């Protein structure tokens, strides 16, 4: 049997081929990620005698074209969690970290775990696109938060408290009333220096222009509050430019976030498990597609414990002799994006408190037992994933049965 260890990096890979009892079939050699390079590798692998399995680390996106090319050629390809490779075979006092050493280490891992290797199955295009959009969504959400905080910091120096003047929720296009307000009334003097009647007329026109409901008593309240403010930046052209540019940046990112959210929901609705996922408590058209994107095809997990380990919400076990730990931290070794979405689901459940939902009842029970906040939140995430695994896998199996 031949274990082909591939250490993948950007633009090239280091490949080693080993057999049992320390036999090295091929010393580490470079393979560029080009059509010619991959064809040369396929030709070389085709000359090997006996069962051949290819092992590589499941890191980033660099391994995907290599795994797809080798799988389509009919080879057994296994993409291993890099944590397993990192923890394997460190039986030396020397610290060696090179591509050549890593490829040999991966090959030896394949030999020692030959029977446990699982063949890599690439995601279908819809799931791959959904995951890619979710990663972009997460990126732009961070940008939106930063842009919002930046705008608030500026407004606190020109119109303190302007972000708390309105409680209206964000519109479907991502725009918010307070943001549109400071785009026009960017300084407290824009309100208190023009008089009550003039401001009321101007505010009324602003509401009509931006399609907001006009409350007749609102201008008076805004004017009264503005008279007590102490802005630190002057009302000049430079201050106006800074505030309006910050508003423009926030509105642009907010619109992009909402476009991605809508497209993710549309794409997720084409997957078979969509109605089952959205029927679960705390999950809606925003969090549902995010969870589906990170989990992917649930049938690729051997059991529900594999899914909780993938998410990094499994507490693990710590026992030695007569000692046995009663509480353990979550492993946090899996998808950070999935844990973030699950945490938001738990927050929704605690706010809405659906008494018929099993996950909420479990959360409430742990909370009543006096468990710490992050303890019962993590336990709830674990419970949610176990239910998710059972319901989705059962539904997919029922859909696969011939009528």
Residue 401: the pLDDT is 64
Calculate the dihedral angle through the C-alpha atoms of 330, 333, 336, 339, rounding to the nearest 10 degrees.
-30
Average pLDDT over residues 24-41: 91
Domain boundary among 214, 231, 264: 264
Residue 320: the pLDDT is 61
pLDDT tens digit string along 334-364? 788 999 999 999 999 999 999 999 999 999 9
Domain that holds residue 83: 2-122
Average pLDDT over residues 307-325: 72
Average pLDDT over residues 254-273: 95
Give strand pairing partners of 334. Answer: none
Domain boundary among 83, 103, 122: 122
Structure tokens at 58: 């499941």
- Domain annotation covers residue 158: yes
289 with 197, same domain: the answer is no
63 with 112, same domain: the answer is yes
pLDDT tens digit string along 85-100? 888 877 666 677 788 8
d(CA 193, CA 189): 5
d(CA 77, CA 23): 21
By the 10 Å C-beta count (0-12 exposed, 13-18 middle, 19+ buried), 212 is classed as middle
326 with 384, same domain: the answer is yes
212 with 240, same domain: the answer is yes
114 with 96, same domain: the answer is yes
pLDDT tens digit string along 162-182? 999 998 888 999 999 999 999
Per-chain mean pLDDT for the chain? 89
The answer to whether residue 106 scores a pLDDT higher than 80 is yes
Residue 64: the pLDDT is 86
Residue 85: the pLDDT is 86
Residue 253, SS3? Answer: helix
The total domain count for the chain is 3
Residue 276: the pLDDT is 95
Domain boundary among 240, 264, 288: 264
314 with 191, same domain: the answer is no
Helix and strand numbers (H, E) in the chain are 16, 7
173 with 56, same domain: the answer is no
CA distances to 291, 389, 401 from 273, rounded to whole Å, are 11, 11, 15
Under the banding of pLDDT at 50, 70 and 90, the label for residue 144 is very high
Q: Are strands 2-8 and 52-57 parallel, antiparallel or unpaired?
A: parallel
Residue 369: the pLDDT is 92
- Domain annotation covers residue 127: no
Give strand pairing partners of 14. Answer: 7, 30
Structure tokens at 298: 């649930």
pLDDT tens digit string along 232-261? 999 999 999 999 999 999 999 999 999 999
What CATH number is attached to the domain comprising 109? 3.30.420.10
Under the banding of pLDDT at 50, 70 and 90, the label for residue 195 is confident
- Domain annotation covers residue 199: yes
d(CA 124, CA 296): 9
């Amino acid at each position: 049997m031949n274990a082909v260890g591939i250490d993948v990096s950007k633009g090239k890979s280091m490949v080693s081929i080993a057999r049992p009892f320390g036999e090295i079939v091929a010393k580490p050699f470079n393979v560029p990620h080009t059509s010619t390079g991959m064809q040369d590798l396929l030709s070389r692998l085709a000359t090997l005698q006996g069962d051949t399995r290819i092992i590589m680390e499941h890191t980033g996106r660099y391994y995907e074209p290599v795994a797809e090319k080798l799988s389509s050629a009919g080879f057994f390809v296994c993409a291993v969690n890099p944590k397993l490779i990192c923890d394997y075979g460190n039986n030396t006092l020397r610290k060696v970290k090179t591509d050549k050493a890593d490829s040999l280490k991966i090959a030896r891992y394949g030999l020692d775990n030959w029977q446990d290797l699982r063949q890599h199955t690439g995601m279908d295009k819809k799931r791959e696109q959904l995951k890619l959009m979710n990663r972009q969504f997460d990126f732009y959400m961070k940008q939106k938060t930063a842009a919002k905080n930046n705008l608030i910091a500026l407004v606190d120096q020109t119109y303190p408290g302007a972000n708390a003047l309105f409680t209206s929720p964000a519109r479907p296009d991502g725009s918010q009333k307070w943001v549109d307000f400071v785009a026009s009334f960017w300084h407290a003097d824009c309100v208190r220096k023009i008089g009550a009647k003039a401001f009321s007329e101007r505010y009324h026109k602003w509401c009509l222009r931006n399609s907001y409901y006009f409350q007749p008593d609102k201008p008076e309240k805004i004017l009264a509050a503005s008279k007590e403010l102490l802005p630190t930046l002057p009302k000049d052209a430079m201050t106006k430019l800074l505030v309006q540019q910050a508003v423009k940046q926030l509105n642009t990112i907010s619109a992009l976030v909402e476009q991605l959210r809508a497209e993710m929901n549309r794409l997720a609705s084409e997957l078979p498990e969509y109605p089952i996922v959205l029927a679960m408590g705390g999950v809606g058209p925003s969090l549902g597609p995010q969870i589906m994107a990170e989990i992917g095809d649930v049938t690729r997990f051997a059991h529900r414990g594999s899914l909780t380990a993938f998410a990094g919400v499994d507490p693990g076990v710590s026992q030695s002799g007569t000692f046995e730990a009663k509480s353990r931290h979550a492993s946090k070794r899996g998808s950070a994006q999935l844990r973030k979405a699950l945490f938001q689901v738990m927050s929704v459940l605690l706010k809405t408190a659906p008494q018929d939902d099993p996950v909420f009842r479990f959360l409430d029970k742990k909370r009543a037992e006096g468990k710490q906040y992050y303890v019962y939140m993590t336990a709830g995430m674990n419970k949610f994933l176990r239910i998710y695994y059972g319901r989705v896998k059962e539904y997919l199996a029922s859909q696969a049965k011939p009528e």
